[in-house]
Amino acid sequence: MTRIAPTALYQEVAERLRQRIFAHELTPGTWIDEQKLAEQYGISRTPLREALKVLASEGLVDLRPRRGCYVTEISRQDMDDIFPLIALLEGRCAVEAVKQAKPADIAALKTIHEQLESAARDGRIDAFFECNQEFHKKIQELAGNRWLLSVIQDLRKVLKLSRLHSLSLEGRLQQSLDEHRLIMAAFQAGDSGKAEKLMHDHLLSGREALAKMRDGATG
């Protein structure tokens, strides 16, 4: 019987590079120096290239024949294409989550929301961002639909390539909090239809905020 191997080296390399991309240590549009990275990690080019293939399949890097590998740059059109999709998918998650949620699940979601409230009250944007991510993740988990979760996670990975942070826009943090309050109320009321619309609109308002930031940065 064939033994199950431990986590492949290329998978570990892919995860390290993925985190560096999300942290913008490797910025969008950057050429990836394979030889330098291989030396840094003390590995051969083979596992590095396999890792880059994984990241390319996730849309995080762009492999160009005879030109090498580059960190993907996310354009305005990409944002316009992706956000409506996420809005639809997370709206659907909200529907299924409301239907599946038990009282203990609603209580757990409420706890995350209270942390969101606290972060907003103190003006802690980074903490608010993390709680926001946790709130959305909890709803996705409650939906219990692994296919929805997989597609949403893939799309959100690509969105992480953007260096813009909508919560930095004046008034957006409070607006986002108000939107979360309405979503939370819909869950407590067991209103799946309302939860779907509110979640859908919440994602699109986030896109609008990013558009304002980009316009302001280039204006």
Q: Are residues 27 and 132 in the same domain?
A: no
DSSP per position, 137-173: HHHHHHHT-HHHHHHHHHHHHHHTT----GGGSTTHH
What is the model's pTM? 0.79
The verdict on residue 3 lying in a domain is: no
User: What pLDDT shows up at residue 218?
Assistant: 43
The verdict on residue 20 lying in a domain is: yes
The verdict on residue 45 lying in a domain is: yes
Residue 5 has pLDDT above 70, yes or no: no
The encoded tokens of residue 76 equal 């305005």
User: What pLDDT shows up at residue 211?
Assistant: 82
- Distance spanning both ends of the chain, measured CA to CA: 64
Task: Give residue 171's pLDDT band: very low, low, confident or very high (50, 70, 90).
Answer: confident
Average pLDDT estimate for 59-69? 91
Average pLDDT estimate for 51-61? 93
173: CATH? 1.20.120.530
Q: Are residues 110 and 192 in the same domain?
A: yes
CA distance 84 to 207: 9
Residue-number span of the structural domain to which 102 is assigned: 76-218
Q: Which of 15-24, 118-127, 155-164, 204-213 has the lowest mean pLDDT?
A: 155-164
User: What pLDDT shows up at residue 139?
Assistant: 97
Q: Are residues 64 and 81 in the same domain?
A: no
User: What pLDDT shows up at residue 161?
Assistant: 83
Residue 184 has pLDDT above 60, yes or no: yes
CA distance 218 to 13: 35
